[in-house]
Structure 1
Amino acid sequence: MINKNSPIPIYHQLEEYIKQLIDSGQLVPGDILPSEREYSDKYGISRMTIRQAIINLVNERYLYRVKGKGTFVMEKKFEQDLQGLTSFTEDMKARGMKASSKLIKFKIIPAHLKLAKSLDIQEHDPVYEIVRIRLAEEIPMALERTYISANLVQGLTEEIVQNSLYKYIEDTLHMKIASGTQIIEAAIANEQEVKYLDISDKSPIMLMERSSKLDDQTIFEVVKSSYRADRYKFMIDLKRF
């Protein structure tokens, strides 16, 4: 594993070895690594060299440290492609994972002026307000607040919104979801996000606001989501014009 005659620095060799263990599944999220002394005794290398390798892996977010407890394997982040409009359920299903929701709020409210403009409806028109915790393999990933015109999308129930809204809209109501616009920004978790996402106070999160349209360009939903920054990342391919 460690070749002291190699021109490759020893700390880098150790980094790559630990990465291989993680990528191959021999080390899984939550596993604790051997101590610096154990690595030193096993491979005959200095603790300073081991410390450098560990620091680099922490900075690359392969590992994380807990004071007084040790160094652990970091949970892998879920990557979402921003070029396609998919629901959370569809996104998790494509990864072979079980998606679920915990319903926090489901009610009809009168649209205030800002919300009415966002949905292109009249002020005081009825709007479904749906607040859900979105989970992947029972792990909280996002706190999602969805607003949908009740005159446009009719017949929603608590049972439907705990599964896939998009599936209901397309398969039951036979509406074609066509496009969406998303805005993403970084923020610090508020009290509600800390509570529902099971994260520490002042943890970083990613705020996403999406406006989605049907194929006739009718806006059918506005979604405001708070994603755990330690669990999720977004990806987009860029082309030079």
Structure 2
Amino acid sequence: MIDKSSPLPIYYQIQEMIRKKMNAGEWEPGDMLPSERIFAEEFDVSRMTVRQAIIELVNEGLLRREKGKGTFVAEKKLEQTLQGLTSFTEDMKARGFEPGNVLNYFRVTEASSDAAKALNIKENDKVYEMQRIRLADKEPMALETTYINANLIKGLTEEHAGKSLYQYIEKELNLKIGFADQTLESAVAGKKEAELLSINKGDPILWISRLTHLQDDTPFEYVKSAYRGDRYKFSIHMPRDSHSS
């Protein structure tokens, strides 16, 4: 219940009440919450107060709002640590999800200036270029565009693109993948990302660029991905350097 004599702001009390019901399983992912009007009448507060509580939870990624429909409990975010290099397929299997792909296109083409610079090749060198929607239990998680040095990674086909590329590279080509450098940026979904990821234009996404190297430091893969901000989060373990002053 809401205690109007409490020093805690009313919107915060409503926020915590909603959070408690979600944690207790009374409201599960996909469930629609009562309307702001119903909350306001139940607690005898203004709709603006209720809206503030809901917006706070939306910003935390615990709720999502659909225009013209209402407010819903958000799906739990998938968490990926930034230690160790794994493929999307390996990562989803480790979390108990069924990985999948929707291949938008696969082609052999000349490297763009951006891809050529990243892969340390010439602009007219051949690359495999593919765009895939990465799925977890058939739900879109990320839109991924990949460029691979075709002179280095031989025999790649559209069939391989529908599976784990890393498994093909390591198991069939007997090449050893060494490490990757990755950058993350926050952004909002454009029309294309929204359509392919089943989200709304303007929804939060994570833009991720990754350059992957073989063990001999040769770059072979350049990936640009848009991850759904409402379903994905990244974490990192940061031990303190014992030599720090």
TM-score of Structure 1 vs Structure 2, range by shorter chain: 0.7 to 0.9
Cα pair distance change 1:130/1:150, threshold 3 Å: same
SS at match of 1:30: coil
Task: Give a deviation string over 1:80-133, Cα, whole Å, max 9, x none.
Answer: 212221111111111100110100111111224442232123442221111111
Task: Give a deviation string over 1:129-151, Cα, whole Å, max 9, x none.
Answer: 11111111111111111111112
1:160-171 pair list within 5 angstroms: 160-171=160-171
Task: Give a deviation string over 1:205-230, Cα, whole Å, max 9, x none.
Answer: 22111100111111110111111222
Which amino acid counterpart does residue 186 of structure 1 have in structure 2? S
Which amino acid counterpart does residue 172 of structure 2 have in structure 1? T
Q: When the two structures are superposed, what TM-score results if normalisation uses the length of structure 1? A: 0.83
Cα pair distance change 1:79/1:111, threshold 3 Å: same
Whether the 8 Å CA contact 2:2–2:43 is kept in 1: the answer is no
- Residues in 2 aligned to 1:151 and 1:169: alpha-carbon distance in whole angstroms: 13
Which amino acid counterpart does residue 76 of structure 2 have in structure 1? K
Q: When the two structures are superposed, what TM-score results if normalisation uses the length of structure 2? A: 0.82
- Residues in 1 aligned to 2:68 and 2:151: alpha-carbon distance in whole angstroms: 56
Whether the 8 Å CA contact 1:37–1:47 is kept in 2: the answer is no
Whether the 8 Å CA contact 1:36–1:47 is kept in 2: the answer is no
Give the alignment's Cα RMSD to 1 decimal: 2.9
Whether the 8 Å CA contact 1:102–1:134 is kept in 2: the answer is yes
In the other structure, the counterpart of 2:29 is 29
- Residues in 1 aligned to 2:57 and 2:29: alpha-carbon distance in whole angstroms: 14
In the other structure, the counterpart of 1:202 is 202
Which amino acid counterpart does residue 178 of structure 1 have in structure 2? G
What count of residue pairs does the alignment treat as equivalent?
Answer: 238
Gaps of 5+ in 1: none
In the other structure, the counterpart of 1:127 is 127
- Residues in 2 aligned to 1:94 and 1:213: alpha-carbon distance in whole angstroms: 23
Identity %: 51
* Stretch moving more, 96-105 or 152-161: 152-161
* Stretch moving more, 190-199 or 14-23: 14-23
* Stretch moving more, 133-142 or 202-211: 202-211
SS at match of 1:117: helix
Whether the 8 Å CA contact 1:141–1:232 is kept in 2: the answer is yes
In the other structure, the counterpart of 1:46 is 44
Gaps of 5+ in 2: none
Whether the 8 Å CA contact 2:211–2:222 is kept in 1: the answer is yes
- Residues in 2 aligned to 1:38 and 1:125: alpha-carbon distance in whole angstroms: 62
1:14 Cα deviation (Å)? 5.2
